[in-house]
C-alpha cells in the first residue's frame, strides 16, 4: 500500500479513504509513505487530538469538525491521517459533509493529502467522487512471517524449520495480523509450539464468526461420486491448473465452474471433491447471507469475501445454491434496496471475470430460472455443467458407494437389480432408501436385505415424479448451453468425405 500511497500523493490526490480494520498496519504504511516522500505527517484521533508526528507536539482537538478546521492552519504539502472516520460519518451530518468538502478543496490547492482511516462504509454521495478508496489487502506471507518471528522471539522459542514455517504461514493466510498473532499465541499456550493445524482451526473459527465464509474440512474425493464421468475427467485434467507451475507455463488463472441440476444428484458433493482433487483448502460462501440486511453492509461483505479468498488462494471457493444469493438481481421488484444487490452482484461478476489470484469458484444451482442471465453466460466460467438424474449405470455405481459408505459389503447385494428398481431416484434418494432399510434391519436385529430395499423403493415416490415438469424445463434449458456431466464420450467425427469427381 505504501507505494500506492506515494503515487497518489505525488499525483496530488486530496482525499483517500483507507478501508481496513487493521489500523496499526495501515498507519505503519502511511508513516512509511510520508517518510519516503519526505513530507510531514499529522495524525488525529478522537482520543489523542492532533499530533505533529515530526515534532511530537499535540493540539487538543475533540471532534472531527475542529480537526478539519485545524487542517487549514498546518504546513502545506503535509499528509493528514484522520482516524475514526467511518464511525464519525455514520449519521451523515450535513455540516460535517460540507466541512469535509471545503477541506478537500483547500487541501488540493495546498498540496495536502487527507488520509481517512476506517472500516469500509458507503460514503455520502457528495463525497463519493471526491474521495478515492483504497483497500488494505490482507497481510501476505511476508508480513505474517514477521508477526510469527516477533512472537517466537518474545517467547524465547527458536524458529521452526523452513518447510514447517511455510505451512504455518499458509495456514494463517486470510487472517489479519492481529488474528494471526492470536492464533500463533494460542497454539503456543496449548501445545508449546506453533502447530499449523491449530492455526488452521483458529482461521476456520475466525472466518465462521464473520458469518459469510467457512473453511470446510472434507474427506470427499472423486471416488465418493458415482457417475458424472465427464465432469470427473474434466476435473482431473484441470487439477494442476491452479498451481504456480501452470502460471509459469502460461495458463490463464482458471475461473471455475457452475454446476446446475436436479436436487440430490451430487452437486454439493462434487464441489467438496473438487478441493480434494486440487489439493487446496475449501471455502464455503453463504450466498444467502451475502446480502446482509443493511444497505452498504453487503458491499463491504463482498469485498471482504474476495479479499479473504485471495489471501487464502490457491483455494476453492464454493458458492452453494447460488440462486439463493443472486436470485432476483435485476429481476422484477429487485429495486427495493436502492440497487445494492445489483452492485454487489456486479462486483462479484467482475471479480469472477478478472481474478488475479488462483481462486477456483464452484457454484451450484438447482434452479436456473432464478439466476440472472449474465451469470449463465458460458464465458463467465471455464465450464457450465448440467447434472441430470443418474442413468442405470450411474445408479449401480451409487448403490455400490452408498452400501460401502454404511460399512456393508456391496457384493452382498445385486446392485444392478437395485439400480433398475430405483429408476428416477437421485443419489440422495438412493442413500435415503438404504438408510431406511438399515433402520428396518436394526429394529429386527438383523442385516438389511434386498427385500427391505425393494419395499422401501416401492413405497417412496421420487422427487423427479412430482418435479417432472421443472426437471424437463431444466433439461430443455441445458440443451446446447451446458455440458452434460455424465455424457459418454462422443465418438470422433468422421472426416469430411470429399468428392473431387
Ligand X SMILES: Nc1ncnc2c1ncn2[C@@H]1O[C@H](COP(=O)(O)OP(=O)(O)O)[C@@H](O)[C@H]1O
Nearest distance in Å: CB 427, ligand X: 2
Q: Find the binding residues for Mg ion in span 38-67 (CB under 5 A).
A: none
Q: Which distant-in-sequence residues (6+ apart) come within 8 Å of 145 by Cβ?
A: 165, 169
- 426 near Mg ion, judged by CB under 5 A: no
CB-based contact 276:218 (threshold 8 Å) = yes
- 422 near Mg ion, judged by CB under 5 A: no
Nearest distance in Å: CB 269, Mg ion: 8
Task: Determine the Cα–Cα distance for residues 234 and 223; give it in Å rounded to an integer.
Answer: 14
- Considering only 103, 265, 308, 313, the residue that binds ligand X (CB under 6 A) is 265
CB-based contact 82:44 (threshold 8 Å) = yes
Q: Find the binding residues for Mg ion in span 232-271 (CB under 5 A).
A: 268
- 401 near ligand X, judged by CB under 6 A: yes
Q: Report the residue number, 118 or 263, with the smaller CB distance to ligand X.
A: 263
Question: Which residue is closest to ligand X by CB?
Answer: 427
Nearest distance in Å: CB 409, Mg ion: 29
Nearest distance in Å: CB 225, ligand X: 5
What is the arrangement of strands in the sheet containing 113-118, beginning at the earlier edge strand?
A: 58-59, 49-52, 41-45, 79-82, 113-118, 15-19, 132-135
- 462 near ligand X, judged by CB under 6 A: no
Q: Report the residue number, 267 or 324, with the smaller CB distance to ligand X.
A: 267
Nearest distance in Å: CB 499, ligand X: 47
CB-based contact 203:172 (threshold 8 Å) = yes
Q: Find the binding residues for Mg ion in span 384-413 (CB under 5 A).
A: none
Number of residues that bind ligand X (CB under 6 A): 17
CA 359, 427, 465, 436 dihedral sign is: negative
Scanning the structure block, which residue is given the C-alpha cell 452492485? 343
CB-based contact 182:167 (threshold 8 Å) = no
- Considering only 86, 254, 256, 264, the residue that binds ligand X (CB under 6 A) is 264
Q: Find the binding residues for ligand X in span 349-388 (CB under 6 A).
A: 364
Nearest distance in Å: CB 469, Mg ion: 21
| Residue 251 grid coordinates | 495458463
CB-based contact 398:427 (threshold 8 Å) = yes
Q: DSSP of 171-233, one letter per residue?
A: HHTTS-HHHHHHHHHHHHHHHSS--HHHHHHHHHHHHHHHTSEEEE-----GGG--S-HHHHH
Q: Report the residue number, 270 or 308, with the smaller CB distance to ligand X.
A: 270
Q: Report the residue number, 165 or 425, with the smaller CB distance to ligand X.
A: 425
Interaction pattern, residues 413-432, with ligand X; x per rule: CB under 6 A: --------------xx--x-
- 306 near ligand X, judged by CB under 6 A: no
> Which CA distances in Å does 300 have to 5, 121, 122, 303, 305?
22, 7, 8, 5, 9
Nearest distance in Å: CB 323, ligand X: 12
Nearest distance in Å: CB 389, ligand X: 10
Q: Find the binding residues for ligand X in span 98-127 (CB under 6 A).
A: none
Q: Report the residue number, 265 or 301, with the smaller CB distance to ligand X.
A: 265
CB-based contact 227:391 (threshold 8 Å) = yes
Ramachandran category for residue 228: left, alpha or beta (phi over 0 → left; psi -120 to 50 → alpha)? left
Q: Which distant-in-sequence residues (6+ apart) come within 8 Å of 173 by Cβ?
A: 138, 140, 141, 144, 311, 312, 313
- 341 near ligand X, judged by CB under 6 A: no
- 307 near Mg ion, judged by CB under 5 A: no
- Considering only 196, 256, 266, 462, the residue that binds ligand X (CB under 6 A) is 266
Q: Report the residue number, 139 or 263, with the smaller CB distance to ligand X.
A: 263
Residue 164 CB: number of other CB atoms within 10 A?
14
- Considering only 263, 314, 327, 448, the residue that binds ligand X (CB under 6 A) is 263
- 225 near ligand X, judged by CB under 6 A: yes
Nearest distance in Å: CB 268, ligand X: 3
Residues of this chain that bind ligand X (CB under 6 A): 225-228, 263-269, 364, 398, 401, 427-428, 431
Amino acid at each position: 500500500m505504501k507505494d500506492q500511497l506515494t503515487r497518489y500523493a505525488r499525483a496530488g490526490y486530496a482525499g483517500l479513504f483507507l478501508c481496513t480494520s487493521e489500523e496499526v498496519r495501515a498507519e505503519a504504511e502511511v508513516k512509511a509513505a510520508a517518510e519516503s516522500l519526505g513530507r510531514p505527517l499529522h495524525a488525529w484521533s478522537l482520543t489523542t487530538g492532533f499530533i505533529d508526528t515530526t515534532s511530537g507536539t499535540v493540539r487538543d482537538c475533540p471532534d472531527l469538525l475542529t480537526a478539519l478546521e485545524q487542517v487549514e492552519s498546518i504546513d502545506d504539502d503535509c499528509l493528514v491521517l484522520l482516524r475514526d472516520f467511518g464511525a464519525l460519518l455514520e449519521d451523515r451530518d450535513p455540516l460535517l459533509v460540507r466541512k469535509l468538502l471545503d477541506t478537500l478543496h483547500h487541501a488540493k490547492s495546498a498540496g495536502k493529502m487527507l488520509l481517512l482511516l476506517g472500516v469500509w462504509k458507503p460514503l455520502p454521495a457528495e463525497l463519493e467522487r471526491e474521495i478515492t478508496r483504497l483497500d488494505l489487502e490482507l497481510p501476505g506471507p511476508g508480513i505474517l512471517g514477521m508477526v510469527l518471528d516477533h512472537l517466537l522471539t518474545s517467547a524465547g522459542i527458536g524458529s521452526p524449520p523452513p518447510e514447517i514455517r511455510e505451512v504455518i504461514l499458509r495456514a494463517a493466510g486470510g487472517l489479519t495480523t492481529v488474528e494471526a498473532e492470536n492464533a500463533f499465541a494460542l497454539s503456543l499456550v496449548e501445545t508449546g509450539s506453533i502447530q499449523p493445524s491449530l492455526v488452521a482451526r483458529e482461521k476456520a473459527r475466525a472466518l465462521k464468526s464473520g458469518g459469510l465464509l467457512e473453511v470446510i474440512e472434507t474427506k470427499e474425493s472423486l471416488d465418493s461420486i458415482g457417475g458424472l464421468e465427464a465432469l470427473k475427467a474434466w476435473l482431473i485434467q484441470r487439477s494442476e491448473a491452479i498451481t504456480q507451475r501452470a502460471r509459469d507455463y502460461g495458463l490463464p488463472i482458471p475461473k471455475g465452474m457452475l454446476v446446475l441440476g436436479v436436487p440430490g444428484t451430487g452437486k454439493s458433493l462434487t464441489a467438496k471433491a473438487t478441493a480434494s482433487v486440487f489439493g487446496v483448502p475449501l471455502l464455503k460462501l453463504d450466498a444467502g447471507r451475502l446480502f446482509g440486511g443493511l444497505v452498504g453492509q453487503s458491499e463491504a461483505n463482498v469485498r471482504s469475501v474476495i479479499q479473504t479468498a485471495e489471501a487464502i488462494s490457491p483455494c476453492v471457493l464454493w458458492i452453494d445454491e447460488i440462486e439463493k444469493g443472486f436470485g432476483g438481481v435485476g429481476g422484477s421488484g429487485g429495486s427495493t434496496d436502492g440497487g445494492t444487490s445489483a452492485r454487489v452482484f456486479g462486483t462479484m461478476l467482475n471479480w469472477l471475470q478478472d481474478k488475479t489470484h488462483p481462486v477456483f469458484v464452484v457454484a451450484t444451482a438447482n434452479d436456473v430460472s432464478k439466476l440472472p442471465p449474465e451469470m449463465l453466460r458460458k464465458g463467465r466460467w471455464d465450464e457450465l455443467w448440467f447434472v441430470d438424474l443418474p442413468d442405470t449405470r450411474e445408479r449401480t455405481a451409487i448403490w455400490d458407494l452408498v452400501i460401502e459408505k454404511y460399512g456393508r459389503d456391496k457384493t452382498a447385494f445385486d446392485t444392478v437389480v437395485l439400480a433398475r428398481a430405483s429408476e428416477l431416484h437421485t443419489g440422495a434418494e438412493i442413500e435415503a432408501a438404504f438408510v431406511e432399510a438399515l433402520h428396518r434391519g436394526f429394529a429386527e436385529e438383523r442385516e438389511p436385505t434386498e427385500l427391505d430395499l425393494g419395499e422401501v423403493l416401492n413405497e417412496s415416490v421420487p422427487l423427479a415424479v412430482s418435479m417432472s415438469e421443472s426437471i424437463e424445463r431444466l433439461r430443455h434449458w441445458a440443451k446446447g448451453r451446458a455440458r452434460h456431466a455424465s455424457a459418454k464420450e462422443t465418438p470422433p467425427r468422421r472426416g469430411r468425405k470429399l468428392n473431387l469427381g
